Chains A and B, each alone.
Chain A
Amino acid sequence: MALSLEAIKGLVKPHAVHKDVYTDQEVFDLEMERIFGKTWLYVAHESQLRKAGDFVRARMGTQDYVVTRDEHGQINVLQNRCTHRGATLCNEARGNTSRLVCGYHQWMFDMGGKLRGIPHRESYPTSFDMNAEQNSLKRAPRVAGYRGFIFASLSETGPSLEEFLGPMHVAIDNLVDRSPTGELELCDTAFRLEFNANWKMHHENANDTIHPGVVHSSSVMAARQHRSEPSSFDYGQTQEMLQGNNFSKKEWEAIELVALPGGHSYMDGIYRSNLLARKESDPIRDKYEAIMEEVYGKERTAEILNLDRFNNLIYPNISINAQYHQLRLVHPIAPDRTLVISQCFRLIGAPDEIFHRAVRFLTTLSSPASMIYGDDATIFERCNQGLHGSDTEAWIDMSRGMDIDRALSEGGTISAATEAPIRSQFDAWLGYMTQGI
């Protein structure tokens, strides 16, 4: 019995949400149906699917999919379930093949998901139709790409990918434009981290400027007290990143948060505030800039490299850091269980050392032994425990900044030290959860 419209609406107030949005199984199931089952979700990057026959596993909400490039060059997003007995067809993370063959009774599918062969065909009734839709692999009805980023939707209808992305296409543009050839390659090694808390907590934390100075104070202090000179081992990058979370009142008031319709958001001006700023002397960066200027010219290069947007959240499943070429996928598993996959890109045509920085950025921020991420994960789990251990009247406040947010002409708001990104996420959440009900 699904939650009534009134019950869902009753979970979200303008300034607070009820704890059930983080803990309740029914709410979670509805999220999978009405958010992850409807909206556009990032599923793969084109660089993983260059040749016909290439495939890569993906998740859409809690469902298991395979993204393939078929012999016609078309991209397909197929459910990873044999239409015979239900076994998973694809059991590797990625690869290349001309047929997906079930290991149980050898049903055989082409890379477009069509059933092509079954053993002992003559024992099937004459009514059995190999071409019938129910025998083909179930597919995401809508698949679209934006500059190499492949998205899919489990809904036949809805806004186009461009409409869905809205102003967030700038985050993808900026990442792609940072490559002198306009081409990216997704690094094959990803970190897969689970935490025992709700998926929404990850997004709510990403564009919150108050928590870093608190949650990450131990890594900030460790870095600040570190006295040795940076060596060629990492050129001081690790120390700089740890110190980069030294958000004090100055940063709280300088870094503006842009909250957009659809639940999207980003931090504006993190580099202007001198966190992770470009260093005066940086021969690697000089070399990269020279290559960029050759392709784009001085002015355009500056425009690309100075775009100062951090943690670009494309709600509900990815976050992009264009400056360090990072991609994070957030997959809900259960109300109190979330999988985060973190990856980085190589900018094809840029110096190798630029990729080495992206790799070290990924390790420092997103490895299981990260000195930064681990404290976030612990806090998510404390929130989860606190909410599970509380009474039914527990409400989570999200009012910070309500009176200081300034409206943007193209929709959304901007201001510093605000929880507007969280409010915009719940605005979108409520919209999805009550749409057409």
Chain B
Amino acid sequence: MNDATILSSGAQAVDAQLAAATKFLYHEAWLLDAGRYTDWLNLLDEDAEYWIPARPGQKDSKNTPSIIYENKDLLSMRIRRLSDPRTYQTSPAPRTRRIVGNVLISLEAAQNDSLTVTSVVFIHEYRDEQRRLFSAQCTHVLRETAEGLKIASKRIDLIDCDATHTAFMSLL
């Protein structure tokens, strides 16, 4: 996606799409911060993919390792584990607050029933006396379905994806 293909405003139809997408992302952010993971999972369409690449600009999810590359089914396993008290990483549970901003939609990638939305997210996590900040660009493909907008894919490009990390379990 290059600058020319991104619009933040303009035609009325685009403004309406942008408003809908922004509202959707705010709602998603609220669910994740509230720890309502099952509700969050319901935002995903059945064939949705969730991807946190391990390299900047990573193109391939099969031949290059990723921090997370999961579908809805695998995410449901991840989420089940988050609520288990024997998950040491979430006991005590992490708390997060996130800000979603710079929401833009791509006209080039637009299809009839879907919308490609980029945003910037800062996620501040606190857990067991430790504080950390995740900064990322998110790319959502949102799909219009009978049940309203659903996530067809979510890609999270952490600015430090290829750096040294400590383990984390918060859902980004």
Contact = CB atoms under 8 A, between A and B. Distances in A.
Interface of A: 187-189, 191-196, 215, 217-219, 221-223, 225-226, 228, 231, 233-234, 238-239, 242, 339, 344, 352, 355-356, 359-360, 362-363, 367-371, 373-375, 377-379, 382
A187 B164 CA distance: 17
A356 B66 contact: no
A105 B88 CA distance: 50
Given A193-B166, A222-B80, A359 B68 contact: no
B74 A238 contact: yes
Contacts of B88: 215, 218, 374-375, 378-379, 382
A334 to B, nearest CB: 14
Contacts of A359: 62-65
B81 A374 contact: no
A377 B163 contact: no
A225 B80 contact: yes
B54 interface: yes
B15 interface: no
A363 B68 contact: yes
A233 B71 contact: yes
Given A369-B52, A369-B67, A218 B87 contact: yes
A192 B163 CA distance: 7
Interface in B62-106: 62-71, 73-74, 76-78, 80-81, 84, 86-89
A355 B64 CA distance: 10
Interface of B: 52, 54-55, 62-71, 73-74, 76-78, 80-81, 84, 86-89, 162-169
B163 A375 contact: no
10 contacts: A187-B65, A195-B166, A218-B87, A233-B74, A238-B74, A363-B67, A363-B69, A371-B78, A373-B167, A379-B88
Nearest to B80: A222
B73 A228 contact: yes
Contacts of B81: 218-219, 221-222, 371
B65 A231 contact: no
Contacts of B62: 352, 356, 359
A339 to B, nearest CB: 7
B107 to A, nearest CB: 30
A221 B54 contact: no
Given A192-B164, A218-B81, A222-B84, A355 B169 contact: no
Contacts of B164: 192-194, 339
Nearest to A234: B74
Given A217-B86, A239-B77, A378-B89, A344 B169 contact: no
A375 B164 CA distance: 18
Nearest to A239: B77
Contacts of B168: 368-369, 374
Contact of A221 (B65, B86, B162): B86
Find the residue from A221, A228, A367, A373 having the highest chain B CB count within 10 A. Answer: A367
Nearest to B71: A233
A222 B67 contact: no
A378 B166 CA distance: 10
Q: Which 3 residue pairs spanning A and B have beta carbons closest together?
A: A374-B167, A368-B165, A222-B81
A360 B73 CA distance: 15
A12 B74 CA distance: 45
Contacts of A242: 77
